[in-house]
Amino acid sequence: MGLLDYFKRNKKSKTATVKTNKPSPEHVLFTETVLEIITPTVEKFGFIKHWTEIEKHFTKIIFRKDKQYIKISGSTYPTDYPYSYNIILGEGDSEDFHEWDWNSTTLWRLKSKIDPKTKAKEFEFPFGDKVKFSVLNAEKELLKYADTFLCGDLTLFYETRSEQNKNREPYKIHSVGKDGIYQTSDEQKSVEQKKKYS
C-alpha cells in the first residue's frame, strides 16, 4: 500500500495534512511504516493523526489528543549525521516553535528517568529492511515508557520536562552595540518559557 493510498483510505482524521517536497524513498518508506504500525497503537489511547510532512531529508508526523501530542521526527539531512529519529511527547501547540521546544520531552528522556541504568538516546534512522524492525521497537518502547502519558497522566511528563528545562539556557541574541562590540543577551520569550516549564 502506498502513502497516498493510505491517506485516501484513512479519512478518520479530518485534520490530517500531507505536505510533501520531493520526498526521498527512504522517508516515504519510513513514514508509511510509522503510519501503519504507530497509528493503530496510539488511536487506542484516543490520539488521532494531525499532521504529516515528508521531505527529501526530513519526516514529521504528529498525533493529537486534546492538548497532548506525539510527534515523530526524523532527519537524514547531511549535517545531522548520525541520522536519527525521535518520539517527542508534548502538551499545547505542536506547531509553535517556542511552545513545543519548551513544552515537550523525548521518549528517550522518559526512558532514562524510569530506568537510569539503561542507555537511552534517539533512535537510529533506519533504511531498507531495518525500517519495520526499528519502528516496531519504537512502538514497544512508547508503550513501555510513555504508558502514563498515553493514558493522560502527565505527572512523569511534567517532572521530566521540568528537569530538562532547568538545565537549559534561554536562546541567545547576539547583536552589535553602539560601540561596535558584540553583545549577547537572553531572548525574552525563551526566558519566559524556561520559567513556565521548568
Does position 8 have pLDDT exceeding 50, yes or no?
Answer: no
The whole-number average pLDDT for the span 13-41 is 84
Residue ranges making up the domain that contains 17: 3-167
Residue 48 has pLDDT above 60, yes or no: yes
Q: Does some domain include residue 139?
A: yes
Q: Are 67 and 109 in contact (CB under 8 A)?
A: no
Q: Is residue 195 part of a domain?
A: no
CA distance 195 to 16: 33
Residue 90 has pLDDT above 90, yes or no: yes
The length of the chain is: 198
Can you tell me the distance from the alpha carbon of 43 to that of 21, in angstroms, rounded to the nearest whole number? 27
Q: Where are the alpha helices (DSSP H) in 21-154?
A: 25-43, 97-102, 107-114, 131-145, 147-150
Q: How far apart are alpha carbons 22 and 188 in whole angstroms?
A: 37
Query: Total domain count for the chain?
Result: 1
**Interval 97-110 mean pLDDT:** 88
Q: What is the pLDDT of residue 179?
A: 80
Q: What percent of the chain has pLDDT over 70?
A: 87
Rounded CA gap, 167 and 164, in Å?
A: 6
Separation CA 156–CA 149 (nearest Å): 8
What's the pLDDT at 157? 97
Q: Which of 80-84, 95-99, 168-172 has the highest mean pLDDT?
A: 80-84
**Domain annotation covers residue 186:** no
> Helix %, strand %, coil % for the chain, to 5?
45, 25, 30
Q: Is residue 34's pLDDT more than 80?
A: yes
- Within a domain: residue 83? yes
Digit-coded pLDDT (tens) for 142-180: 999 999 999 999 999 999 999 998 887 776 788 887 787
Residue 172 inside a domain? The answer is no
- Could you tell me what percent of the chain has a pLDDT over 90? 65
Please indicate, yes or no, if residue 187 is contained in any of the structural domains.
no
CA 22 to chain centre: 22
- Among the residue ranges 7-11, 66-70, 135-139, 181-185, the one predicted with the least confidence is 7-11
In a domain, 198, yes or no: no
Coil, helix or strand at residue 63:
strand
- Is residue 183 one of the residues assigned to a domain? no
For position 176, what pLDDT does the model report? 82
SS3 assignment, position 105:
strand
pLDDT band per the 50, 70, 90 thresholds, residue 5: very low
Q: What is the DSSP letter of 120?
A: -
Q: The whole model's pTM is what?
A: 0.84
Query: Above 80 in pLDDT, residue 98?
Result: no
pLDDT exceeds 90 at position 95: no
Q: 166: helix, coil or strand?
A: helix
